[in-house]
């Protein structure tokens, strides 16, 4: 069975400034596009059997820039719905809610089109996505790649390792990087994290 590769999309203006970017379709910066292009040799060196991408533009553009083809768009890979905290930084939230922490406290409700998600709801999406990953891994000789966003990929990693959704807090994930989740003695492990080319 192959490994699971995670790619966080390249930099956006909002990721650079620390604004929570859920459903807002903020494009990659030129630096973000270059971060993605630099991953091409790492992706080309793998046997990719299946690839999935978030429906949001920054992830889809990253998938294209790193050279993935026949990518399946999957809504379960969209970023955390931040509700009322969309576009707001952690520092600004903590001025009103001292000690607030996304992975344990969730978000304040937003408008009907952006109601917000609890950590458990994001964890349920991650579990659904992991079931699709396992089906793809069983159906192919190669690896599976997911191209998505920082917080959903961190929660997905926690769930892959048997941790609760809040365990995603343990895995800092930088824009434009590749991570590898594999197995050792039949158990899931992190085989590489925040990988970037050395050049």
Query: So which residues are the catalytic ones?
Result: 9, 79
Burial of 162 (0-12, 13-18, 19+ CB in 10 A): exposed
Q: Give the count of alpha carbons within 13 A of 160, CB side only.
A: 27
**Rg of the chain, C-alpha, whole Å:** 16
Which residues make beta-bridge pairs with 65? none
Q: How far apart are CA 114 and CA 127, in angstroms?
A: 21
Edge-to-edge, what's the strand order for the sheet holding 4-8?
A: 72-73, 48-53, 143-148, 4-8, 178-184, 187-195
CB 169 within 8 Å of CB 103: yes
Q: At what angle do helices 57-65 and 30-37 cross, to 10 degrees?
A: 40
- The length of the chain is 199
DSSP per-residue string spanning 30-69: HHHHHHHHTTHHHHHTS-EEEEEE-SSHHHHHHHHHTT--
């Amino acid at each position: 069975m192959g490994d699971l590769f995670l790619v966080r999309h390249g930099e956006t203006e909002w990721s650079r400034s620390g604004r929570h970017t859920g459903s807002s379709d903020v494009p990659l910066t030129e630096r973000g596009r270059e971060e993605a292009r630099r991953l091409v040799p790492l992706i080309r060196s793998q046997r990719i059997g299946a690839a999935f991408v978030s429906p949001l533009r920054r992830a889809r553009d990253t998938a294209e820039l790193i050279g993935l083809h026949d990518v399946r768009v999957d809504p379960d890979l969209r970023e955390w719905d931040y509700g009322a905290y969309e576009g707001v930084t952690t520092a600004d939230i903590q001025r009103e809610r001292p000690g607030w922490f996304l992975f344990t406290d969730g978000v304040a409700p937003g408008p009907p089109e952006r109601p917000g998600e609890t950590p458990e709801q994001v964890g349920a999406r991650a579990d659904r996505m992991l079931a699709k990953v396992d089906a793809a891994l069983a159906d192919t000789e190669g690896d599976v790649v997911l191209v998505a966003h920082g917080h959903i990929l961190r929660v997905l990693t926690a769930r892959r390792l048997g941790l609760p959704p809040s365990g995603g807090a343990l895995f800092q994930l930088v824009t434009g990087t590749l991570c590898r989740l594999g197995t050792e003695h039949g158990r899931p492990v992190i085989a590489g994290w925040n990988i970037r080319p050395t050049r």
